[in-house]
Each structure stands twice: as C-alpha cells, then as structure tokens.
C-alpha cells in the first residue's frame, strides 16, 4: 500500500527566503506526482504535475523535482511571499491497475511566510 509522507509538518520563514518542501513515497511504481496548495476553508489548487518520466516541472517561482527511484519529490519556492502561506500537499497516482484510480495524499506542510 502506497504511503506518502511530507516533512516538515509546519514551516515558518521570513519573506524573501527560498525554501524547499519535501515529499516521500514508499512505492516507486507511480504514474505521476502532483503538488497542490490548500488555503484555509478552501479546496485544493493544483500547482504542478510531474509525469513519471520527468525529473522536474517549473511554474513561475515554483519548481518541483521527482526522483522516482528513491521515492522523493521536492517543491522549491523561490523568493517566498506572505501570499504563499498555505498548506502544501503532494499526491501520487499509482501505475498498477488497482492504484491508478486514485491519488494517495500526504498530510501536508503548513507554510507561513512572515512579512
């Protein structure tokens, strides 16, 4: 059974810092990995999706990397801003017939960027 872990559970940084959020998964047989952000009281917003054949994806100040063999992904946020404060979740979609139908989520990293 796939398990997804996110460390740290919470992170507080001053504005302007570059930071890295970590995600690890136990089963490397994945289709893709997706990073989301969730604001309080809201649903999830998709940030980046990395296919299993890719090593990284970039969108603006965000860069996500994937090392499938070691079961790890990182989300790099450059020049952090108070508006980046949210909970960041990673999720993997399995590639086996039973696990491809759903995403397995980590429990998230709660990020606070202090002005």
List interacting residues with other proteins (CB under 8 A).
Answer: 4, 31-32, 34, 36, 41-46, 49, 51-52, 89, 91, 93, 100-108
Shortest distance (Å) from residue 45 CB to other proteins: 7
Shortest distance (Å) from residue 89 CB to other proteins: 7
Which of these, 88, 82, 101, 85, lies nearest to 6 by C-alpha position? 88
Residue 49 contacts residue 57 (beta carbons within 8 Å):
yes
Q: Which residues contact 1 (CB under 8 A, 6 or more apart)?
A: 27
Shortest distance (Å) from residue 9 CB to other proteins: 10
Cα 36 from Cα 106, distance rounded (Å): 11
Decide whether 68 or 80 has the Cβ nearer to other proteins: 68
Decide whether 47 or 80 has the Cβ nearer to other proteins: 47
């Amino acid at each position: 059974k796939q398990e997804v872990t996110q460390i740290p559970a919470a992170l507080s940084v001053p504005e302007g810092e570059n930071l890295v959020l970590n995600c690890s998964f136990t089963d490397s047989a994945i289709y893709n990995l997706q990073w989301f952000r969730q604001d309080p009281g809201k649903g999830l917003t998709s940030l980046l999706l990395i296919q299993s054949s890719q090593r990284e994806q970039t969108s603006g100040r965000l860069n996500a990397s994937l090392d499938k063999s070691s079961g790890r992904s990182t989300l790099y946020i450059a020049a952090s801003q108070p508006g980046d404060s949210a909970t960041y979740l990673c999720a993997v979609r399995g590639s086996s017939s039973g696990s491809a139908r759903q995403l397995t989520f980590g429990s998230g990293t709660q990020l606070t960027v202090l002005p």
